Structure 1
Amino acid sequence: MSIRGEIKKIALIANTNKAKAVNVMEQVCNYLDDKRKDYILEEASAGLLERRVKSQVYERLVDFADIVIVFGGDGTFLKAARTFAASDVPILGINLGQLGFLTDIEVEMLEDGLDKLLAGKYQIEERMILEGRVIRSKQLVSRLIAINDLVLTKGPFSRIIKLETFIDGEYITTYPGDGLIIACPTGSTAYSLSAGGPIVNPKMKSLIITPICPHTLNSRSIVTTEDEEIVVKVDADHSEVMLTVDGQESFPILSDDIIKINKSNLVAKMIKLEGYNFYKILRNRLHNNRF
């Protein structure tokens, strides 16, 4: 793996709800001090440390950094990837969570991983992003982007919803059930997997449609090409239907709303250190029962 250009300034973001975050972030700050590297912390993350450090508000970190390092699980990584999707700044994750499909450094290999980073022994993978548009009475009422998935769910009611689904204008089927997951390959190991969807190499360019608890015997996941548009029309007799982004943000959906989902023009830039292999991580997660 070739050596890349020197990293001059690093932004650090921690999940402040993780118990390990303070110690791990302190280790990284000490490491960067020893290497005489300039770094800046997100404001809330800086507040975890007892010493004074340079800090900045979350959204402006990429104005001051060449890369972003996040401390947390996949959820912390997803938020950063969405926030900085329009920038050219890549993201590296240090895993403080359970699964860690998106994060690249385990805590026990922290210094080794940072050594590779500063030596330029990494690649930047560009991951596909989804864009969802909510159309209500022929008007665009919301535009959302997702790194993992966009999920239509019925809400707390036990009544099913019906989701009339089209691919590139061709009617496919109407899914009666609890909802529908539209994922990109990066999100194939998230909610889609738990709902019975396929595992897809994240370097692929495709969309994955997976029904949630379908009230039918013949519903299966469908994998489309990256250039096809998925359109879903909602039929529900209650007002608690939600469109959820990466399990973190949501938008209320009404009956007769139309959701259009495409590949976004944006990409998520993820740092993958020397030795990273998707199938290696997959094998470790499967063997360790960490799904």
Structure 2
Amino acid sequence: MQKGIQRIALIGKYQSPEVAEAVSRLALHLKDAGVDVLIERETATATGIVSFPLADFAEIGTRADLAVVLGGDGSFLTAARRLAAQSVPLAGVNLGRLGFLTDIPLESMFERIGEILAGRSLREERMLLEAEVLRGGECVFRAMALNDVVLSKGESGRMIEFELHVDGEFVYSQRSDGIIVSTPTGSTAYAMSANGPILHPGVTGIALVPLCPHALTHRPVTVSDQCQVELVIAPRHDAQLHFDGQERFDAHAGDRLRIRRSAHTLSLLHPPGYSYFSILREKLHWSTTPRLA
């Protein structure tokens, strides 16, 4: 067993028989292997598994050596934000759709988790963003994101207007549906759908991707991860802010959204043979032979 991994927390939010069965099977397998197992409390409520010790995210942060997320990328994003400050490494078993972050196949989870426990894992650090909303000079909201922070027109049927500043320097004023501020991890999510660049996880950059800008010359821009990005909502415009598509804040005219790289990083443990480009080929269907009409 890899030195230092003595206790593993299992996280799987979805209320589905498949997730409940997978969590239960992995918990029993790890117990038989001599590993202490914790079940995240909301996971236990959703799956009905109560035969193992329970722990909330704060307790997982202080008690677990590894957290394994069983589900989709959405479940993984939630766990990442909740555990980033505690520096607990994460691994993911895919029970969702794409599985960019949950890269361990369900059918081989025993073998792959066993390889991680045996010390044959690949460790990777991913950056996160931290954001704060200033209203009248006071912070009224704060959140973290592993994928992206999105300024959006929300339910409005018209465009919004805002200013973009980088390190205090005015860049442009834009009328659009909004803008995506993305990490390299999030570059294959919403940002990619908006024609943003795909950034390798090793790139220390932040992508700024406009959403349907009312100008042909607005294009995505990638800035250094050391930059502070500030978005100022113009008068007479309200907007919505989204963090990994999970947390939301209703912003008003004059609000300032400040975004910077978080001091915390997320540690991912991958099984042997993991390749970022292999994931891209599989999930984005690169190199697939075109169908004949």
Report how far residue 86 of structure 1 moved.
1.0
| Aligned residue runs from structure 1 range 119-130, under 5 A | 119-130=118-129
Q: Report if aligned partners of 1:6, 1:118 keep a CA contact under 8 Å in 2.
A: no
Q: Report if aligned partners of 1:46, 1:53 keep a CA contact under 8 Å in 2.
A: no
In structure 2, stretches of 5+ residues that fail to align are 289-293
Map of 2:39 onto structure 1: 41
Structure 2 residue aligned with 1:282, among 266, 274, 280? Answer: 280
Report how far residue 237 of structure 1 moved.
2.8
SS in 1 for 2:284: helix
Map of 2:18 onto structure 1: 20
Report how far residue 238 of structure 1 moved.
4.5
Q: Report if aligned partners of 1:11, 1:62 keep a CA contact under 8 Å in 2.
A: no
CA distance in structure 1 between the aligned counterparts of 2:244 and 2:41, rounded to whole angstroms: 24
| Aligned residue runs from structure 1 range 1-291, under 5 A | 4-47=2-45, 48-49=47-48, 52-235=51-234, 237-239=236-238, 241-287=239-285
CA distance in structure 2 between the aligned counterparts of 1:236 and 1:161, rounded to whole angstroms: 10
CA distance in structure 1 between the aligned counterparts of 2:143 and 2:108, rounded to whole angstroms: 35
Q: Percent of aligned positions with the same letter in both sequences?
A: 36
Please say which of residues 209-218 and 230-239 is displaced more in the overlay. Answer: 230-239
SS in 1 for 2:102: coil
CA distance in structure 2 between the aligned counterparts of 1:4 and 1:221, rounded to whole angstroms: 42
Normalized against structure 2, the TM-score is what?
A: 0.92
Normalized against structure 1, the TM-score is what?
A: 0.93
What letter matches 1:56 in structure 2? A
Distance 1:28-1:236 versus aligned 2 partners, 3 A rule: farther
Please say which of residues 254-263 and 55-64 is displaced more in the overlay. Answer: 55-64
SS in 2 for 1:162: strand
Q: Report if aligned partners of 1:121, 1:274 keep a CA contact under 8 Å in 2.
A: yes
SS in 2 for 1:84: helix
Report Cα offsets for 1:189-217 as digits up to 9, x if no partner: 11101111011111221100001111221
CA distance in structure 2 between the aligned counterparts of 1:50 and 1:40, rounded to whole angstroms: 11
Distance 1:255-1:50 versus aligned 2 partners, 3 A rule: closer
Report Cα offsets for 1:150-195 as digits up to 9, x if no partner: 0001111111101211222222222211111001111101110111
CA distance in structure 1 between the aligned counterparts of 2:203 and 2:64, rounded to whole angstroms: 29
CA distance in structure 1 between the aligned counterparts of 2:97 and 2:284, rounded to whole angstroms: 13
Residue-pair matches, total: 286
What letter matches 2:31 in structure 1? D
Which 4+ residue blocks in structure 1 deviate beyond 6 angstroms? none
